[in-house]
Structure 1
């Protein structure tokens, strides 16, 4: 049997409480016994209580013999009386010979087989008249033992009650704490998750309370995350319905004009067709972004397949792809690259999606006069990629659903990274942070 005998902290404390309580109870019992015996010894030694009890017993035995016409040979009846009295030893003599001894098991000494009297030299003998002869008796009385027994029983009860009281006092704190935890769990069951669980001590109850508290916090975080996700999805649907409805309404309007030939010239027809095409592309762009958002957010992060790349080569490749497109649109760049060799684990498709989103926004919103600043460097085993541009002052009113940024944030979270976008004094900057392998 390989079961290990290992006490938990609670069991160990309980054992110590029992030992301590039992020790105190024993000390109390011994003190009470000592005091009680001392008082009884003093009481019995200072008065004639025992003599009176003995004289009364001798008188009762003589009366018993007389009332029952006992003969000196009626040992069985004599023994019955002795057993009834309990605290008496009786010795009967005839002609200085012992004929009855209550201390012998069979309580019978036959006449003709006498024993010498052990009390004849100094003991007190009393006359007793049997039906057939006169005899002498010697009686030893132990009536004081009855009171010693009563005191011992009383001391034992007091000691036991002290043991129970001490145990209750010692475990009161734990039972109170258990009651506190029960009440706090009822509060949590009632829906008040903000209530903090009381953590007291370093035993299993404290560990249990800590676990409940951590579970409460995790549940609150999960509820907050679900509420935020629900709110974000609600806002997204509201924004997307508005953004899709606007170009879709315009497209339907243009198509109605074309179908019912409400245009005046062929130039107007070409313009309506051109506008319809632009609105169709705008709807396609928005729907692509929406599908991209749901694909990213509904994919388990554990399913993300990553590869290890040389960090400088990968970033140079991604930058070159974007710079080619932006230079073709009239933008200039200032690039400050990293001289430290490092490796990085990423999903190439996802990271390229992040850079595509960032630089496509630059094409739409950035001022072409001011160069785009790009910098990446290593700090605390993190590669920091900073892209900064000035927002164009000639933009028309632009509304954005923020789907692209939300998608990028989710992608970076799955890479254990971070993306932060800020705008200050008409300067828009994006910072990407990714862990590296040196």
Structure 2
């Protein structure tokens, strides 16, 4: 992205809200659709003129049958009331001589309305003849049974809306649950040792980030396992090589000492030659054991026993770096110094820092071209003390081989002291840069300096 901002993560919370909104809209849509279709069906079928007339005829027929069975007259209000109460979704108006004679419904009989209304006051109604003991009456039937159907449509629409909402949420929940189960199974396989199982994140939510984290963990474990395997193979190779290399000078050393101890020499000069040869083999053993110790420093799992102490950087560098420069000059190297004024305090282990400088000097003696100058830079900047050493690489180093163990020891030491160790090599130049955190000098030290 051009603005440098990271894309917003579509979190599970946002997805849940979006799913709920979609489910709500779908539920509202299914509710409106069901309600509209249901009401249209009621209006078209149940509320048609033919259907209403058929229901009214059935109601009148039921009342006529009831009246004949009990030989009712319009004055038998108690019996008529019983029938009316049983008809919970209709009521009936009886007119005689076009005047309201009786009104009966689910509430019973309304006697106060008798004679107050005229049939002529009603508009667009159908009358049905009803025969009672005291004459013929005109019946007007009002049927409101459709209210139950409308209520049923409403309940059905609400139920379908709830089902639709639940379906959306179940689908979302199933997707999340399935993703969690898949991640759990993959983690279990990794825990069982299947480090070759590659996890692929899909989506851009927390589950995708969890998958990426698990995949990163798998790669890290796999990398460490490979490194441990390589270290084990190197250790085995080293042990085999060291055993062979140590056996030869040790056998020779024991042989020369045995000759000397058993008196198998013809002159003191011959015995001296045995001792010199034994001493040479002992030096070879020391070199091999030193190499083994340096290897253990680099590849050992434990940290070095470094004890940090505060030192005046100027005094310490003047002593340690100066000693190394004098030693190199004695061996014929030309040193170009660029030492800036230093006024700070550093935390370090002097003995281990001396080992770093000794390794650098030893590296120069092995691989630097003595005909070219060695550049040494000391500077204090950006809260750090920097020591930079650069040399020209020897074109034909002969039989000298490098396994870089000394440089790895330097890197490990500097890292544990809170500093850095950087090496950079070009076609003909090798440069090492050391840095350590610099702290201001104490007041007493400033006054002394």
2:445 matched to which residue of 1?
Answer: none
CA distance in 2, matches of 1:369, 1:192: 51
- Cα 1:239/1:61, change in 2 over 3 Å: same
- Cα 1:83/1:251, change in 2 over 3 Å: farther
Q: Does residue 1:116 correspond to 2:117, yes or no?
A: no
Secondary structure of the 1:337 match is: strand
2:307 matched to which residue of 1?
Answer: 305
Matches within 5 A, 1:307-346: 307-326=309-328, 330-339=331-340, 341=342, 343=344, 344-346=346-348
2:104 matched to which residue of 1?
Answer: 101
CA distance in 2, matches of 1:432, 1:242: 37
- Cα 1:121/1:70, change in 2 over 3 Å: closer
Q: Does residue 1:33 correspond to 2:35, yes or no?
A: yes
CA distance in 2, matches of 1:278, 1:423: 37
TM-score normalised to structure 2 length: 0.72
1:433 matched to which residue of 2?
Answer: 434
- Cα 1:233/1:311, change in 2 over 3 Å: farther
TM-score normalised to structure 1 length: 0.74
**1:222-247 C-alpha deviation (Å, 9 max, x unpaired):** 33443343344334333432332232
- Cα 1:437/1:319, change in 2 over 3 Å: closer
Does the Cα contact within 8 Å between 1:181 and 1:197 map onto a contact in 2?
no
CA distance in 2, matches of 1:58, 1:49: 14
Matches within 5 A, 1:226-265: 226-265=228-267
Does the Cα contact within 8 Å between 2:329 and 2:335 map onto a contact in 1?
no
State which of 187, 197, 201 in structure 2 corresponds to 1:198: 201
Does the Cα contact within 8 Å between 2:387 and 2:435 map onto a contact in 1?
yes
Secondary structure of the 1:253 match is: helix
Unpaired segments ≥5 residues, structure 1: 1-7
1:211 matched to which residue of 2?
Answer: 213
Deviation at 1:58, TM superposition (A): 0.9
Does the Cα contact within 8 Å between 1:90 and 1:138 map onto a contact in 2?
yes
CA distance in 2, matches of 1:213, 1:319: 47
Secondary structure of the 2:391 match is: strand
Secondary structure of the 1:335 match is: strand
1:410 matched to which residue of 2?
Answer: 412
Secondary structure of the 2:119 match is: coil
- Cα 1:375/1:62, change in 2 over 3 Å: same
CA distance in 2, matches of 1:25, 1:430: 72
1:14 matched to which residue of 2?
Answer: 16
CA distance in 1, matches of 2:414, 2:357: 11
Secondary structure of the 1:271 match is: helix
- Cα 1:217/1:259, change in 2 over 3 Å: same
1:4 matched to which residue of 2?
Answer: none
CA distance in 2, matches of 1:291, 1:165: 69
**1:382-437 C-alpha deviation (Å, 9 max, x unpaired):** 72522537659797x66777653442232233244225386967x8x462432453
Deviation at 1:18, TM superposition (A): 2.3
- Cα 1:47/1:394, change in 2 over 3 Å: closer
Does the Cα contact within 8 Å between 1:53 and 1:143 map onto a contact in 2?
no
Deviation at 1:280, TM superposition (A): 2.3
Does the Cα contact within 8 Å between 1:99 and 1:115 map onto a contact in 2?
yes
State which of 48, 52, 55 in structure 2 corresponds to 1:53: 55
Q: Does residue 1:267 correspond to 2:269, yes or no?
A: yes
